[in-house]
Chains A and B, each alone.
Chain A
Amino acid sequence: MHGMATDKPLIIQSDRTLMLDVHSPSFDDCRNQIIAFSELIKAPEHVHTYNISPISLWNAASAGISADEILQRLDRWTRFPIPTNVAKFIEDITSRYGKLKLYPFNEERYLLKVSDSLIAHAIASDQKLKDLVHRTDRAGEFEILKYDRGTAKLALIKLGYPVDDLIPLVKSEPVLISLKAELRSYQDQAVKSILGDMGPGTGFGTIVMPCGSGKTLVGMALMSHLQTRTLILCPNVVAVHQWIAELKAKTDIDSSLIGEYSGEKKEIKPITVCTYQVLTYRASKTDPFEHMSIIEKGNWGLVLYDEVHMLPAPVFKITAELQAIYRAGLTATLIREDGREEDVFSLVGPKRFDIPWTDLSQSGWIASAYCVEVRIPLPEESSLPYAMASKREKYKIASTNIRKEKVIEALLAKHKGESILIIGQYLDQLKEVQKHFGFPMITGSTSNTKRDELYAAFREGKEKIIIVSKVANFAIDLPDASVAIQISGTFGSRQEEAQRLGRILRPKDRTSFFYSVISRYTVEEEFSQNRQCFLVEQGYKYELMEV
């Protein structure tokens, strides 16, 4: 039996998946070469998985990498011959880039030039495009209404025709802003991946970075480079406040130039931080989105989409219309329940930067984390109700296992003096925990003021332990949280697990601990294993502890 690790570490599958052996001496060289035209899917400890997709190929093409170059790189590292269908796919898809170019035309329209007559014919005869891409009497030329730019581009990509958008982005009125902090190398790379050479085809994209790795700083660095009116979209009010706090702390911008647009305030300033919810608010299903105009009329030069994977569907359309300006999406996880990740990439911009979590952990840029699944039995009095309950009820019975409190007690004792988060899904369970232990709790009904106070107290070390519901899943800046005890979660949500782990990944001088307490021999086991999938694929391991 022979080993897998050789100087040809790559295996190319017929479905365009690339499997890269981590143990090969050529691993780094190979990875650096293939990342330009493929997308990292998972990175566990032995074999990393990449995928070649149309968008990854068009990304490469837009960066000047030809099909020949891609095939040469693959050929250099592949252990087996490149499958014929994969080679043909690369040639075909790459060749489409540059055949559709979008130019300015007049006040109301853009001009789409198609250099391939067959593609032009296909576009002209496609029913889905007829209302978006208008024929002209000039061969190979079409017109697109300005407000249809994004939607038309999306529709064309879905049909397999990428558009090289050569319309210069509009910067809007200048806003002077400089970053006071220094960027780490990977953050600098992320910024450059968006801005490129500032030429046509650059200035937009999505950045995927692990929780705690400083996405906010990357956003601010973009603002510092572009020096323009900026709209920042966030998942909730806490995140809005965090952004504002960070802007004040890490840039030289005057506070008077920063506005909050949320349920509580309606300020529009040169730098405005807004929630997705307020944008999608309307009095009834038939009423318009009354706050959407903030995007349309704000004369923005840059839009930052924080936690872009949460981009609500109603915002898609507006996003489609914001094609003329610089834009960047920031996220740690790419999973959407509605499967519209591709739409995000098409409208906001393609993924320009991605880095494995373990890479940052090994370099110390995020804390290393020790994950533990603590498994406890159901109490006897629960076993019969559990056996007879519906699936949803079973999950709740298992999740709210009273014995979990004992585990919390033991863990608190083990990590005495550390900053600890206790995270859960069910409010009555969290209330019981609060009743038992007396720690402060933050839920959806906690006022924003109170919430900020508690976070501040936690940050300052005045409160060492807080209980949080799932409102705290996203965008909390808690530099010193080193332990998270998860006592329940949203079924098998991988995204939630990753986000919760992210709460303890800010760099620190000690290892962080993530405990997931589950009831063994129940449905919670299966859901828990599913939740762990994303992190395991990122290289994290869970130790199992039986109690």
Chain B
Amino acid sequence: MDRSEEFFTYLNSLDDDYYFFLANTVLGEIPSPFHKPVLNQKILSFLLNEENRSNLLAALDDDDRRYISLILLTGRTPAKLVSRFFSSDSFILLARKLSNLRDRLILLKEEGRYRVNPVLIGIAQQAFDADLLFGNEDNGFQNGPFVDRNILFAVTNLMISGQAPVREANMHHFIKSGKLLAVFPQFSERSSITFFSALKKLLLSRKAVNIRDGRFIADRQRIDSVLQLDPLNIMIQAIDPGLGDSIVRALDALRCHSMEIQKFSTLTRILSETDEEQTNNILDLLECFGFIKIIGTSVYFNQSVLDPQQERSELRTDSDMKVRFFGSQSPDDILYLFADIEVCDKLISYAITNDSFFRAIELGLTRSSIESFLGLEEQQRFIQWENSFSRLRLYDGILIRCDSDIKNMIERHPDLKDHIVESFGDNLLLMKRSTYALWQQTLSYALDLKHLPVVLDNDESLQDKTEQDDSSGSFELGEQIQTATSGKDRSWDDVSKELLDYAESSGCNLTEVEPLITDRIIVSKSQIDKNFRYAGRISVSGFDYNAKLSAIKGALPKAKNKEADLLELELPSENLIVQPLEIVRTGQTASVLRSKVMPDGQERSISISSIFKVTVLRWSLK
């Protein structure tokens, strides 16, 4: 549907009262008979007229720009969330302004959501001002840690090395051990627990790491696709790939302008179209991942995220088998497969142990590939380990290939020999599958192994390839959000003066016209004619009780599902915006208005005689 069509659909959805109010203010007197499509077309033409558009733009003040900027940024925005975003503004101002912007056809409201009139998008874009919307404070903080690929490697390693427990029941003990703090000292304990859990979930859901025989095993085929991710995408995939766009847009806004927590929270909620709980969860994860930081009541973007990632330095391997480097690991780095993470800080340190080497051999790495990766000559310790782990391999859970010493031992061991199905030559034994749990435990103990070295069939992972999650869409932080360029050809002062002069010279009733110019409803000479009768805003003040009563009655919801008009009430000691619910008659001069006070919706009964002035704001914010 093109923009005009969208606009016409909107116009046709309005009830007659409001439709004709709008038509009247734009086109003047509507002659009868009339043809609605023709009226719509005329309204459209009015809005597309260059001079009118220029005047519409000139008529926008700073508050208008702020509200338009938010709604342009966020798209179809629930009214409640607009009100929450601007909660620091006076609600009366907000209510008036939004009502006014609707009357000017700049904003539309459908099903409780605001959006920019599609035929006036260009004006809205010219009016967009991020500085006005978010404020102009310091953009962000520097020098903060965030979850990057090194950390993803480290988390993967914690899982596959057995340092992190498989069973959730043991997580508490793992956390209490302080291991996460020791590995990720740059982060708070809460952050490290949070991002560890999120990344673990990501790795498991993408089947990059699987659980087998009670331990985590890396699937080298699938893990690569996860390790390719850059920090932003790691974070998005861990939070919710479906919300990627909205998270990026929220971060884009934040990285140019820090903002209050509540504003950022509301913005995120609007963009992600989720509920409050989910929004809080998103913010928590953004903070724990290091992308944002909350300082006092403000949220800042971590500018370090934008810094180009320094390539990994050369590896330094000491004879205590610690491997150290700084900078970012590349996706094809294999260190995490054959060493155990010790600390992931500015300098990253891994330790090669016999267990970690064992794990690497199981995964199909070779000693020479490890040495080559480390840039080392032949290492005696590696040769020793390689020989040790080559003594026995288990195939398909039941076929043991081993050296003759081990074979002799198994054949004589009282707790193992009965599990032998058949013996082949000096090196092969076929064992019973049914008693695998028993004999593998006994044999592991006999050989001082944590578990028997299995041959991991990487082809197994290919069987499930069709199930592979394809939601690997890549997200990027976008261009800097624009602030307004000029956006104004003429000032509103000049325009309004011109319009007033014209109205006067045309013989119009200035009492009627001037408020409409002040309210920027009239922006063009074509809207000024001495014969026009304007609907205007209903406003009654003073001692005319019946007029006030009548205005209030008119604002009550006419149909069951119809929105009530809002009323602005001027009382002796306060001004209120209320949604009228009903009038309770207690006598001719003692009627009471039962209403909800906006924005909180608290019910209150107000004596009508105590109201000094009542103004009907045509549409509610519900």
Contact = CB atoms under 8 A, between A and B. Distances in A.
Given A380-B405, A521-B388, A1 B322 contact: no
Contacts of B530: none
B413 A544 contact: no
Contacts of A84: 143
Interface string B386-410: 0010010000000000000100110
Interface residues of A, number: 47
A387 B447 contact: yes
B168 interface: no
Given A11-B347, A394-B448, A46 B381 contact: no
Interface in B137-151: 143, 145
Interface in A101-141: none
A253 B215 CA distance: 68
Interface string A81-94: 10110000000000
B325 interface: yes
A536 B324 contact: no
Interface stretch (A13-21, A57-65, A346-354, A453-461): A13-21
A505 to B, nearest CB: 18
A403 to B, nearest CB: 14
A451 interface: no
Contacts of B319: 44-45, 536, 539-541
A434 to B, nearest CB: 30
Contact of B346 (A13, A45, A387): A13
A547 interface: no
Contacts of A80: 326, 346
A387 B405 contact: no
B298 to A, nearest CB: 18
B409 A4 contact: no
A44 B448 contact: no
Interface string A511-547: 0000000001111011001000100110111011010
B346 A15 contact: no
A11 B391 contact: no
A102 B292 CA distance: 47
A184 to B, nearest CB: 27
Contact of A387 (B316, B381, B446): B446
B62 interface: no
A466 B131 CA distance: 85
Contacts, number: 108
B351 to A, nearest CB: 11
A533 B408 CA distance: 34
A522 B448 contact: yes
Interface in A384-412: 384, 386-388, 394
Given A2-B311, A387-B446, A14 B186 contact: yes
Contact of B412 (A2, A384, A386): A384
Contact of A13 (B317, B343, B380, B388): B343
A435 B170 CA distance: 53
B405 A383 contact: yes
A47 interface: yes
B501 interface: no
A46 B319 CA distance: 9
A3 interface: yes
B320 interface: yes
B574 interface: no
Interface in B177-230: 182, 185-186
A327 interface: no
A536 B381 CA distance: 13
A536 B314 contact: no
A342 B350 CA distance: 28
Nearest to A378: B405
Interface string A360-396: 0000000000000001010010011011100000100
A1 B312 CA distance: 6
Contacts of B316: 4, 21, 46-47
B322 A44 contact: yes
A12 interface: yes
A4 B312 CA distance: 10
A384 B412 CA distance: 7
B605 interface: no
A475 B423 CA distance: 56
Given A15-B185, A46-B316, A537-B320, A526 B381 contact: no
Contact of B413 (A11, A13, A21, A384): A384
Given A83-B346, A387-B446, A544-B384, 15 more contacts: A1-B313, A11-B347, A13-B343, A13-B347, A14-B345, A46-B316, A46-B317, A46-B324, A47-B318, A383-B408, A384-B413, A386-B446, A525-B388, A536-B318, A536-B319
Interface of A: 1-4, 11-15, 17, 19, 21, 42, 44-47, 79-81, 83-84, 375, 377, 380, 383-384, 386-388, 394, 520-523, 525-526, 529, 533, 536-537, 539-541, 543-544, 546
Top 7 closest A-B pairs, CB basis?
A387-B446, A44-B318, A15-B185, A14-B185, A544-B380, A46-B316, A13-B345
9 contacts: A1-B311, A4-B326, A44-B319, A47-B318, A380-B405, A383-B408, A387-B447, A521-B388, A521-B391
